[in-house]
Structure 1
């Protein structure tokens, strides 16, 4: 997978999360989780962009680790929302699947950078 393809996937994932919450949920918990999910999904895309422009391998790996952290946070948030019935099963499955694939790709990039 090309680096730009991954950048596009991360941006698309963040955009899908944003579109999911075009209308803010009404409960406090739903609003809190929605806002946090938007932050972590967007942060993963933004930090990956920083990794692409990193000057050193160490800096790139650091940015990739931040990207990974944010993706894991997004996944945990999606799971909580699913368990609290805040997402439809179909939407959850789609987002969870993409999130999981993105995590696997970033983990592979980190492992390959350390070789």
Structure 2
């Protein structure tokens, strides 16, 4: 049960954000965007060849790519501003790490052009998380 005297830090609800429309249009809810990105990372991991090097890459990208959304979810409802910022900062670090793994995989194991949108999406998530962190710090 939430204490009514405590200000909980939350990500805006879906009703406070523009509605995502149809396929091809951007999703504005960072929770949903991180979730969709994690699903895409899992698809990429499944497409990697079966060998020792790719086993390491697969493990790393799955850990970092799914951790983004997990930390965003943890941040939602944080009791303190500091905790909210910390969880969002961890999510941002994980997004940066995932972008690194995508860049490493691109061209070597999966055609670069097939990962360009994913690398771009990772950068957009980094930018969104940075904006959320900076806005929260100013409040």
Same fold (TM over 0.5): yes
Structure 2: which 5+ runs fail to align? 1-10, 15-28
Query: Aligned partners of 2:106, 2:116: CA distance in 1, in Å?
Result: 9
Higher helix share: 1
* Cα pair distance change 1:62/1:3, threshold 3 Å: farther
Quick check: 2:88–2:133 contact (8 Å CA) kept in 1?
yes
CA RMSD in angstroms comes to 1.7
Larger Rg: 2
1:106 to 129, 133, 137: 129
Given the alignment of the two structures, is residue 22 of structure 1 paired with residue 80 of structure 2, yes or no?
no
Q: 1:69 aligns to what?
A: 93
Other structure's SS at 1:114 match: helix
Q: Which runs of 5+ in 1 are unaligned?
A: none
Aligned residue in 1 for 2:69: 45
Matched ranges for 1:3-18 at <5 A:
4=14, 5-18=29-42
Aligned residues: 114
The answer to whether residue 98 in structure 2 is matched with residue 88 in structure 1 is: no
From the superposition, tell whether residues 98 and 3 of structure 1 become closer, same or farther in structure 2 (CA, over 3 Å).
farther
State the 4+ residue runs in structure 1 displaced beyond 6 angstroms: none
User: CA deviation digits over 1:20-54, x for unaligned, max 9?
Assistant: 23356222111111111011010010000001121
Distance 1:106 1:15 in 2: 19
Query: Which residue is equivalent to 2:102?
Result: 78
Shift of 1:82: 1.7
For the residues of structure 1 that align with 2:113 and 2:60, how far apart are their CA atoms?
Answer: 21
